[in-house]
Amino acid sequence: MLLKDFLAEAGTEKNLTELILFFSEQARNVRHGFYCTIPRTPSEEITRNQFGEEQMELDKYADEIFISGLKETRLARYIATEEQPEIIEVENPKHQFGVVIDPLDGSSLIDVNLCVGSIIGIYPGHVLEKGLSLVAALYILYGPLTTLTFTTGKGVHEFVMNDAGEFVLRHKDLRIPDGKIYAPGALRKDYLPAHSQWIQALEDAGYKLRFSGCFVGDVHQILHKGGVFAYPGFRGKENGKLRLLYEANPMGMIIFQAGGAISNGKDDILTIKPKEIGQVTPIYVGGRKEIALIETLMKEG
C-alpha cells in the first residue's frame, strides 16, 4: 500500500496528510544530494551551525531543500531547523503548522558511507511547545534502503521507497520489542554516577553495545530490536548535548507510540516545554524498563 493511500484509509486530516506527503517527496531530493555534494568543502570555506558543529555540504543542501519547499508550498507557518539560528515564519501560509527539522542527522558519517537520516516533528501551531503537543513525527533513513517511519498518534508505521520513488508500506503498527541492545553516547570517563550505575546494570544483564554516531539510525535499530539509546548529561555538559526540539521530541513521540518511553533521566521529555529552539537535553529513549531503571537510579542518587 502506498503512503498516500495508507494516510487516506487511516482518516488522516487532509492538511496534515498534505504536509506528510510533502516531506516524503523531499526524500528523493535529499537523496539526490548525496551525488551532487560529494566533493568535500575546502577548509577555508567550512561553515558551522548554531551549535558550533561543522556543516557538511549535504547538511546545507538538505536544509535548503526543506526550507525552500515549505516556503514555496506554504504548507506550514513556522519552520525551525537545526541549521538555522532563528525560527522562520512563512508569508501567507495555507496552514498554521509549525515544523521542526534536523535536516541530516549523523552527517559526520557521510564520508564513511554510514546511515544518516532526516528527523521531522509537526506541531499544530508554534514550535516552542511540549512534545506532547506534536500532531505527527517522522524520520527518513538514507541507508541501503530509503525508509520513512511516522506516527500521527495512531501507532508507528514504516514505509520503504520503491524504484519509482514512492513509499510502500513495509511494517504496520510497529512495537518496540524486549531486546538487549544499548547505544551509549559520551565518553565513559565523563559519566556521572547514576549513569555509570545504569550502564553497569545493562552490561551485567548482557546488553550488547551498538552505537554508530547517528542518533536516528541508532534509535531506528532500537525500535526494531529493542533496548535503549542514551546520550546523557556528562562532565562538562551536564545538560546534555542532543537537541530537545529537533531530535528528542520527534523521536520520543515515535518511540512512545511504539510502546516505549523517553526521559532526561528524571522526567518524561515530552512533558518539557522548551525555552528556546537550541535547547539541549540528556536523552534516554527505548524500552520502558530501561527508562524506569535510570529514573530510579537518578532519584536515588
**What is the domain-level CATH number for residue 137?**
3.30.540.10
pLDDT at 86: 97
Q: Are residues 162 and 289 in the same domain?
A: no
Write down which residue in 135, 151, 171 finishes a domain. 171
Q: Are residues 220 and 86 in the same domain?
A: no
Neighbours of 61 (CB within 10 A): 19
Classify strands 78-81 and 98-105 as parallel, antiparallel or unpaired.
parallel
Cα(125)–Cα(131) distance, integer angstroms: 12
Q: Are residues 185 and 153 in the same domain?
A: no
Which among 2, 27, 19 is positioned nearest to 148, based on CA atoms? 27
Q: Are residues 160 and 208 in the same domain?
A: no
Work out how many domains the chain is built from and give that number.
2
Which residue is it, cell 537537541? 243
pLDDT at 41: 44
Give the residue ranges of the chain where pLDDT is below 50.
41-44, 46
CA distance from start to end of the chain:
49
Give the domain range for residue 190. 181-300
Q: Are residues 229 and 186 in the same domain?
A: yes
Residue 131 within a domain: yes
pLDDT digits (tens, 9 = 90+) for 1-58: 999 999 999 999 999 999 999 999 999 999 888 776 655 544 445 455 555 555 578 8
Cα(246)–Cα(258) distance, integer angstroms: 19
Q: Are residues 89 and 218 in the same domain?
A: no
pLDDT at 55: 56
| Strand ordering across the sheet containing 136-142 | 88-89, 78-81, 98-105, 116-123, 136-142, 146-151, 156-161, 167-171
Q: Are residues 268 and 187 in the same domain?
A: yes
Which among 133, 132, 136 is positioned nearest to 151, based on CA atoms? 136
Classify strands 136-142 and 146-151 as parallel, antiparallel or unpaired.
antiparallel
Classify strands 228-231 and 54-55 as parallel, antiparallel or unpaired.
unpaired
pLDDT at 114: 82
Cell numbers standing for residue 74: 506554504
- pLDDT above 70 covers a percentage of the chain that reads 93
Q: Which amino acid is at 34?
A: F
Residue 298: CB partners within 8 Å, gap ≥ 6?
Answer: 194, 265, 266
Write down which residue in 171, 197, 220 finishes a domain. 171
Write down which residue in 114, 142, 171 finishes a domain. 171
pLDDT digits (tens, 9 = 90+) for 274-291: 999 999 999 999 999 999
Q: Are residues 20 and 117 in the same domain?
A: yes
* Helical (H) or strand (E) element with 286: strand 283-286
Q: Are residues 163 and 30 in the same domain?
A: yes
Residue 208 within a domain: yes
Q: Are residues 19 and 122 in the same domain?
A: yes
